Amino acid sequence: MTTDTLTRLTPDTVTEADLTAFIYREARLLDELAYEDWLKLYAQDAHYWMPAEWQQTDPRLQASLMYEDMLLLRIRVERLAGARTFSQKPKSRSQHLLQAPQVDEMNPAANLFRTWTSFHYVETRGDEKEFFAGWAKHEIRVEEGALKIALKRVDLLNFDAPFGNIQLFM
């Protein structure tokens, strides 16, 4: 996926290797704080979902920690760089440790690909360091020759724990 601009994918040509490389690339962009490039991995109608219940099925009428469309994700990204974002003085940083992503569904006819990735995630700010563990499920499709995330669902192992600020993206 380092040759993004040269790659012209179609649903029929997507390989499992393309999908796993894409998942690793997403995590790396987050760890490099390259949020503008990270947002470009998402489709315009995409959602980022972090449930607040075990095996939750409904993001609309059940409580979630996050259920955000691209407008809300863009607000988060712009806020991180804001001059008066006091909770980012000093700034937070993140590190993802991913288990090899597993491809759960290859469905080129529907232009739908699903992956499942177990992760450890560390977010740090100032002298504090917080550790999280969980599973990320991606729904991915091909748009204009490139892979795009339609839905990223992040299930935290301890979604019901009392957390302090979680400021970045898992």
Partner 1 sequence: MSKYASNPDAIRALVHPEEVHRDVYTSPEVFALEMKHLFANTWVYVGHASQIPEKGDYITTEIGDQPVLVVRHTDMSVHVLYNRCPHKGVKIASEACGNTGKFFRCPYHAWSFRTNGNLLAIPLKKGYENTGLENTDAVKGLAPVANVKIYREFIFARLNDTGESFEAFFGDSLSSIDNMIDRSPEGKLVLEGAPLRYMHNCNWKMLVENQTDTCHPMVAHESSAGTAVSVWEKEQAKGGPKPMAVEVYAPFMAPYEFFEGMGIRVWPHGHGHTGVTTSIHADYSAVPGYFDQMVEAYGEERARAILGENRHNTVYFPHIMIKGPIQTMRVFRPLAADRTLVESYTFRLVGAPDMLFERTLMYNRLINAPTSIVGHDDLEVYERAQKGLASDALEWVNVQRLYEPGERHDVTETANGTSERQMRNQFAAWVHYMTLDMAEPARVEAAE
Based on CB atoms, which residue is closest to partner 1, 64 or 102?
64
Q: Among candidates 110, 130, 112, 109, which has minimal Cα distance to 121?
A: 130
106 φ, ψ (degrees, to nearest 5): -120, 105
Distance CA 88, CA 92 (A): 6
Q: Residues 4, 18, 31, 53: which binds partner 1 (CB under 8 A)?
A: 53
Q: Residues 25, 28, 74, 93: which binds partner 1 (CB under 8 A)?
A: 74
Does the footprint of partner 1 cover residue 143 (CB under 8 A)?
no
Distance CA 64, CA 161 (A): 13
Does the footprint of partner 1 cover residue 167 (CB under 8 A)?
yes
The single-letter code of the amino acid at 123 is: E
Q: Residues 5, 84, 127, 131: which binds partner 1 (CB under 8 A)?
A: 84
Based on CB atoms, which residue is closest to partner 1, 113 or 159?
159
Does the footprint of partner 1 cover residue 166 (CB under 8 A)?
yes
Stretch that binds partner 1, among 23-31, 57-65, 112-120, 142-150 (CB under 8 A): 57-65
b (16+ CB within 10 A) / e for 26-53: bbebbbeeebeebeebbbeebbbbbbbe
Site of interaction with partner 1 (CB under 8 A)? 50, 52-53, 60-67, 69, 71-72, 74-76, 78-79, 82, 84-88, 160-167
